[in-house]
Amino acid sequence: MEEIKKIAGQITGIYTEPVSLSEPFMDFSARFASMPGTTVLMSGGDLDCARYHILGAKPWLVFSGRDDDMTITVENHSFDFKADPFDTLRRILEAFHQDDLDRDPSDLPKPIYAGLFGYLAYDLKDCLENLPRTSIDTLCLPHLYFTAPSIIVVHDKINDTTRLCIPEREFAGENNLEKDLAEFKRIISGKPPKNGSFSGDAGGFKSNFTQAAYMNAIKKIREYIAAGDVYQVNMSQRFEMDVQGDAFSLFKTLYHNNPAPFFAYIHAGNHHIVSTSPERFLLQTGQKVETRPIKGTRPRGKTPMEDKRLGRELKQSFKDDAELSMIVDLLRNDIGKVCRVGSVRVMEHKRLEAYQNVYHLVSIVEGILDHGRDSVDLLKATFPGGSITGCPKIRTMEIIDELEPDRRHIYTGAIGYISFHDTMDLSIAIRTATIHNGQIIFSVGGGIVFDSDPLDEYEETLHKGRTLIEVFKGKEKKAAKKDYVWINGALEPIDQAGIPVTDLGFQYGYGFFETIRVDKGNPGHLNAHVDRLNQTWEHLFAEKPPDLTWDEIINQVIVQNRLLHETAAVKIIATRGNREFPPFNHTLLVTARPYTHRLAAKKVKGVNLAVYPHPRQTPLADHKTLNYLYYFLAGKWAMGQNADEALILNPDHTVSETNTANILLIKNHTVTKPVSLHVLPGIMDTVVCKFLSGRGFTIESNKVFLEDLFGFDEIIITNSLIGSVPVLSIDGKKLPEPSDLWKKINKALLYPS
């Protein structure tokens, strides 16, 4: 940390000045929204917890971590190290703590003038407790992400005042103030950014649960409650959808539609967080601590009378009262671990709060931090918030991981700021979306108790998610045309086709495939492909091949996938299934995709090879089996060497093939085919050799060593998709300039008139 402090510099003061806003704070913040590291915290509505709008931008420090892999970046220097995330957070807060400023702190804007902005993912629980991990993390995002902004702007809604704060730092003989202030002035004096747009997939959001599966999970929780394991569990389902457009535009639209006290936008570089949370997790002001759990939900009514009835019903509900009381007790216990004895009090219980789509019951619990305790102690004692885990917390987190298929990441984590001067305000990350790699993901859930009705609980999640779901209504992308696969005799949408997990093709790669080039509906060398398919079927499956009219099947797939007037790559795949006797359960499928020749976008017409350092020897190489990982990884390795193909060697270091093609070596009107004990006999290789033989070339097969390759006049690789393509170099060493023989081959064989 000392090296980090040396580069980052010490905060020597806080520069402040009033800002006169000529536009709403949301529009003002939009000027900074495209900058990585920007955080916008908007307080919607007029509740007593919704006083400040805050912007943090242009970070001078970025801190992120996943498990115990920590990264801190300051002034273009990045430090990667192993450490506990909470310990690292504490070290950063201590390193830049503000307790010796030359000015009266009361002169500085509340609630923050220097500190960290960002999030803590729910999955940080595994750094606090030893819990089983049985759900899948598909996002692979940081478990915590914080930035220390150079520019902080605080707008007080009550006083209608706005102030700029710039932490002044001395580092490497420089002071940042002049540069950061100039950047701020430049941004706010420029033209406002154009309003962005966003759209979602025409198919809408898809859940990781069916309704029946979600209801069954609730029944399982009720069984755990009946058995005495737990009293309450927060159960959620996750929705996701393809998305495009501007994340800040989504944030802005959501805020205008349904402002809530803890709106948050975080531009975290490769992902964005958009939160519309109504719930405060922790508020710290010096030693004073507050938490505001929410439990109990009802939809808003369609008429004033119905709306009033639903609010009264929630307020009088014994079930919701018990649920909220249970969580209040849990949180009293959590903050009591780090607060002075006797200081923890319930200041308000069962407050009815109204939002656009729902009513909530809210309680307020306060306490005073014990001497020697700090923000990180408070976090470790309370994280993740009990209102969104259940009671008792550890056992409920185990059950959540058992029943929810996906890791939660930001959902039910925390978002907000932790200052360098003993203030903190974090919301519970509910009604919160992550936008990452063209997808938007969010989760919604509810507290399940013994008398919960599974259908009611399922519908409650839909009420809670309505704001995020409905904001995309009317903004759907034009529906993409579905791709289809022929599978076991039927044409099905490719995203609905499946292979049983017991299929030996899935478990062991027990199967094979054929790839066929189809030009404007005409399969190339189909009979040769079918002959090879049948031979492989008999060899690997020890059965008679299926009696199928392959040209008709391929035509159906080509037509269904709208590829009749272009070039396509068709793949036939056969898996073994798991039955030794009829009726067999093979999976047999045919796919089709548009195909563009690999030389189409290249200025130089040829390929470069790199010698793969792992020789290959397996009898399976005689067939195009589904156990194709060796060749796939060889191809990826070649790309990493700035080559197009990997040159595969035999164990005796003779030449065999490339990762996708056969090799033909040409010299003095002689074609040499490298000999391998096991190598796939290529369809195009055979066709090309027959073509050349008819034009006076001699065809022979010999062992060829790597060093021999440079003695040939030219080298061609062949497969059914590319036809013939010349090789230009091997491991960066140039080969003789190829003739136009490969073009003549392709003209005659690949593009027949």
- Residues 112-156: tens digit of each pLDDT: 999 999 999 999 999 999 998 889 999 999 999 999 999 999 999
**What totals of helices (H) and strands (E) does the chain contain, helices first?**
17, 39
| Per-residue pLDDT, 753 | 38
| Per-residue pLDDT, 602 | 86
The CATH label, of 3.30.470.10, 3.40.50.300, 3.90.1300.10, 1.20.1290.10, for the domain at 484-594 is: 3.30.470.10
Per-residue pLDDT tens for 464-519?
888 899 999 887 777 668 899 999 999 999 988 989 999 999 998 999 999 999 99
Question: Residue 650: pLDDT above 80?
Answer: yes
Q: Where are the domains of the chain?
A: 2-131+138-470, 484-594, 607-750
Query: Per the residue annotation, which of 279, 323, 514, 645 is the catalytic one?
Result: 279
3-state secondary structure 330-345: HHHHHHHCCECCCCCE
- The 3-state DSSP class for residue 383 equals coil
Average pLDDT of span 168-186: 90
Cα 421 to Cα 288: distance, rounded to the nearest angstrom = 13
Which of the four pLDDT bands, split at 50, 70 and 90, describes residue 553?
very high
Query: Per the residue annotation, which of 58, 125, 252, 295 is the catalytic one?
Result: 295
Answer whether CATH 3.40.50.720 is correct for domain 2-131+138-470.
Answer: no
Tokens of 345: 């009090």
Answer whether CATH 3.20.10.10 is correct for domain 607-750.
Answer: yes
- The 3-state DSSP class for residue 653 equals coil
Look-up of token digits 């020897």: 617
* Whole-Å CA distances, 743 to 350, 566, 690: 80, 20, 16
Please give the residue that has the higher pLDDT: either 211 or 299: 211
Question: What Rg value do the Cα atoms of the chain yield, rounded?
Answer: 32
Which of the four pLDDT bands, split at 50, 70 and 90, describes residue 101?
low
Per-residue pLDDT tens for 376-391?
999 999 999 998 999 9
Cα 504 to Cα 218: distance, rounded to the nearest angstrom = 34
Q: What is the spatial order of strands in the sheet that 511-519 belongs to? A: 490-493, 484-487, 587-594, 567-575, 511-519, 522-523
Q: Percentage of the chain surpassing pLDDT 90? A: 80
| Per-residue pLDDT, 530 | 96
- The 3-state DSSP class for residue 619 equals helix
Q: Percentage of the chain surpassing pLDDT 70? A: 98
* Nearest one of 679, 670, 645 to 659, comparing CA atoms: 645
Which of the four pLDDT bands, split at 50, 70 and 90, describes residue 6?
confident
Tokens of 165: 């704060």
Per-residue pLDDT tens for 594-628?
999 989 888 888 999 999 999 988 888 888 888 88
- Alpha-helix residue ranges (DSSP H) falling in 230-374: 247-257, 304-315, 318-336
| Per-residue pLDDT, 380 | 97
Which of the four pLDDT bands, split at 50, 70 and 90, describes residue 752?
low
- The 3-state DSSP class for residue 67 equals coil
CB 642 within 8 A of CB 635: no
CB 265 within 8 A of CB 33: yes
Neighbours of 107 (CB within 10 A): 10
Cα 139 to Cα 708: distance, rounded to the nearest angstrom = 48
Question: Residue 4: pLDDT above 70?
Answer: yes
Would strands 670-674 and 698-702 be described as parallel, antiparallel, or unpaired?
Answer: parallel
Average pLDDT of span 35-43: 97
Specify whether 6 is catalytic.
Answer: no
Specify whether 75 is catalytic.
Answer: no
Average pLDDT of span 101-108: 70
Which of the four pLDDT bands, split at 50, 70 and 90, describes residue 751?
low
pLDDT, the chain, mean: 93
